[in-house]
C-alpha cells in the first residue's frame, strides 16, 4: 500500500531554502508522497486558498511581513491553523510564547532539517491524527 | 549532505552568488557609515544575514552559516545598533564569505576548471587578490585595496589557495608575497603567466618581498611581475603601484616620496 501524501507549506521568502527543503525531501524518499507549496510571506500563506488542507507548515523566523516567531504564531493562532507548525531557525530564542493552541514543533535548527531521517519523522508525525486539531 | 548530488546545483548557485553577497555587505557597511538614518541598512543587513546563514548551513557550509548566524544574533541583541557597529558586522560578514570563497568554495570543483566553474566569477567592478601569509601584512594590503574601491578583495595564505581563488574571483590584480610556505610567489607568477588559469595570463602582478637585491628584482620582473615592492612597505607605495598598473585614480606618491626611494630599485 502506498504511503499517504503529505501536504506541506513552506513559509519562507528565500526561494533557495524552499528548493533545499524540496531536495532533502527527495533524498529522504518523500518525493512521491509529499506535496510542498511555498509562500513568500505570512500574508500570502493566510490568503492562500485551501490553507486548512495542509498537514504541516514550515515557518521561517524572518519574513517580509513578520519578524520573530511570536508575532507570526499569534497570527496563525487567530487564523485557527489546524496543522502542526515547524519553526525553522538556527538560533531562535527560548522565550517563544506557546499559548495559542497551535501544535508547535521546534524551533528546529535548519541544519537539522537537512537530515533526511529527521524530515521523514516529521512527516510521519504530521500524518498522525493525534497531531491534527479540528480547528 | 554536502556531497549529495541532488543538492550540488543548489550549492553551486549559492557559491556563484557569494561574491555578490560579499560585495553587498561591503556596500552596506560603507552606506551605513554615511547614512543619516540607518534603519534601511539595519533591515537589509538583518535580512541578508538571516538568508545566507540559513542556506549556508543547509548546503554544507556549516562554518559560514554559524558565523553569519552569530552575527545575526549579535545584531538582534543590540536592538538599535550604531552605524559603526552595523558597518563592523557587515564587514565581518564580508570577511566570513571571502574566507569561504578562498578555503571552501573551490572544493566544489576540480582545480582544472571545467566551464561551469569558470562561470563563478565577479562580473562587475574590479577585484583583487592578495597572497600573503603574514598575519599583519596580508590584512593591511587587503584593506588598502578595499579602501581604493575594489569591489572584492580576497586574501589567500598560500600559492595553492591563490590558484583556487583565481578560478573563482578572476582578479584584475594580484599582489603576492615572494616567500610563502610551500610553493613560492614566484611559482605562482610563473603559473599565471604560463596560462595556468585561462584568461589571467596578463593580470597585473605585484610582487612583495623582503629580498631587495638587484638579482631578485630582475628575476621577478623577467618572470613577469609588473612591479616589485620591498617589505616593509607603506600604504602609499602600494596604492601608487596599483594606481599606476590599473590606470585608476588614486593618490600616487610623488617621485620624491620617501617610500618610493626606499623600496624601488633602479635597474
The complex scores an ipTM of 0.75
Which residues 95-124 of B have a C-beta within 8 angstroms of A? none
Q: pLDDT (tens digit, 9 = 90+) per residue, B52-63?
A: 988 888 787 888
- Chain B nearest-CA distance from A13, in A, is 9
pLDDT at residue B111 is higher than 70: no
Q: Is B117 helix (H, G, I), strand (E, B) or coil?
A: helix
pLDDT in the model for residue B48: 92
Strands in A17-120 per DSSP E: 34-39, 56-60, 62-63, 66-67, 85-88, 104-108
pLDDT at residue B43 is higher than 80: yes
pLDDT in the model for residue B147: 77
pLDDT in the model for residue A130: 54
Range B115-263 classified under CATH 3.40.50.720: no
Residues of chain A falling short of pLDDT 70: 1-4, 49-52, 90-100, 128-135
Q: How far is B130 from B158, CA to CA, in rounded Å?
A: 10
Name the percent of chain B lying above pLDDT 90: 13
Cell numbers linked to A42? 505570512
Q: Is B151 helix (H, G, I), strand (E, B) or coil?
A: coil
The DSSP secondary structure of B15-36, one letter per residue, reads HHHHHHHHHHHHHHHHHHHH-S
Domain boundaries, chain B: 8-108, 115-263
Can you list the domains of chain A with their CATH numbers?
Answer: 6-127 (3.40.50.2300)
pLDDT at residue B3 is higher than 60: no
> Chain A contact for B7, CB < 8 A?
yes
- Chain A nearest-CA distance from B7, in A, is 6
Q: pLDDT (tens digit, 9 = 90+) per residue, A100-112?
A: 577 788 788 777 7
Give A17's contacts in chain B (Cβ within 8 Å): 51, 54-55, 58
- Chain A nearest-CA distance from B124, in A, is 23
In the block, cell 513552506 appears at A10
pLDDT at residue B187 is higher than 90: yes
Pairs of residues, one from chain A and one from chain B, whose beta carbons lie less than 8 Å apart: 58
Nearest to B65 among A23, A88, A90 (CB): A90
Strands A66-67 and A62-63: antiparallel
pLDDT in the model for residue A22: 85
- Measured CA to CA in angstroms, residue A107 lies from A111, B44, B93 at distances of 12, 23, 24
Model confidence at B107, pLDDT cuts 50, 70, 90, reads low
pLDDT in the model for residue B44: 92
Amino acid at each position: 500500500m502506498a504511503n499517504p501524501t503529505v501536504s506541506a507549506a513552506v513559509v519562507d521568502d528565500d526561494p533557495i531554502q524552499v528548493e533545499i527543503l524540496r531536495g532533502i525531501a527527495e533524498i529522504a524518499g518523500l518525493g512521491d508522497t509529499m506535496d510542498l507549496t511555498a509562500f513568500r510571506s505570512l500574508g500570502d500563506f493566510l490568503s492562500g486558498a485551501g490553507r486548512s488542507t495542509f498537514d504541516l507548515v514550515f515557518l521561517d523566523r524572518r519574513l517580509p511581513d513578520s519578524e520573530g516567531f511570536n508575532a507570526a504564531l499569534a497570527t496563525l493562532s487567530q487564523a485557527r491553523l489546524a496543522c502542526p507548525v515547524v519553526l525553522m531557525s538556527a538560533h531562535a530564542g527560548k522565550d517563544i510564547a506557546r499559548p495559542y493552541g497551535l501544535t508547535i514543533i521546534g524551533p528546529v535548527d535548519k541544519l537539522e532539517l537537512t537530515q533526511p531521517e529527521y524530515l521523514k519523522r516529521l512527516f510521519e508525525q504530521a500524518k498522525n491524527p493525534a497531531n491534527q486539531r479540528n480547528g | 549532505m554536502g556531497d549529495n548530488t541532488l543538492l550540488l546545483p543548489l550549492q553551486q548557485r549559492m557559491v556563484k552568488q557569494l561574491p555578490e553577497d560579499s560585495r553587498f555587505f561591503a556596500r552596506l557597511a560603507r552606506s551605513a557609515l554615511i547614512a543619516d538614518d540607518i534603519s534601511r541598512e539595519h533591515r537589509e543587513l538583518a535580512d541578508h544575514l538571516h538568508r545566507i546563514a540559513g542556506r549556508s548551513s543547509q548546503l554544507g557550509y556549516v562554518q559560514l552559516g554559524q558565523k553569519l548566524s552569530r552575527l545575526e544574533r549579535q545584531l538582534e541583541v543590540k536592538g538599535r545598533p550604531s552605524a559603526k557597529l552595523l558597518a563592523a558586522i557587515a564587514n565581518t560578514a564580508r570577511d566570513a564569505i571571502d574566507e569561504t570563497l578562498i578555503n571552501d568554495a573551490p572544493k566544489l570543483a576540480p582545480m582544472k576548471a571545467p566551464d561551469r566553474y569558470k562561470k563563478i566569477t565577479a562580473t562587475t567592478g574590479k577585484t583583487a587578490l592578495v597572497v600573503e601569509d603574514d598575519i599583519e601584512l596580508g590584512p593591511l594590503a587587503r584593506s588598502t585595496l578595499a579602501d581604493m574601491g575594489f569591489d572584492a578583495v580576497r586574501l589567500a595564505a598560500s600559492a595553492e589557495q591563490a590558484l583556487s581563488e583565481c578560478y573563482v574571483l578572476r582578479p584584475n590584480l594580484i599582489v603576492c608575497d615572494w616567500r610563502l610556505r610551500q610553493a613560492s610567489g614566484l611559482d605562482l607568477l610563473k603559473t599565471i603567466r604560463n596560462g595556468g588559469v585561462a584568461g589571467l595570463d596578463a593580470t597585473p602582478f605585484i610582487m612583495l618581498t623582503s629580498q631587495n637585491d638587484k638579482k631578485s628584482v630582475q628575476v621577478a620582473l623577467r618572470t613577469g611581475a609588473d612591479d616589485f615592492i620591498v617589505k616593509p612597505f607603506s600604504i602609499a607605495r602600494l596604492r601608487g603601484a596599483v594606481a599606476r598598473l590599473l590606470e585608476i585614480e588614486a593618490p600616487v606618491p610623488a617621485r620624491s616620496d620617501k617610500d618610493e626611494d626606499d623600496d624601488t630599485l633602479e635597474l
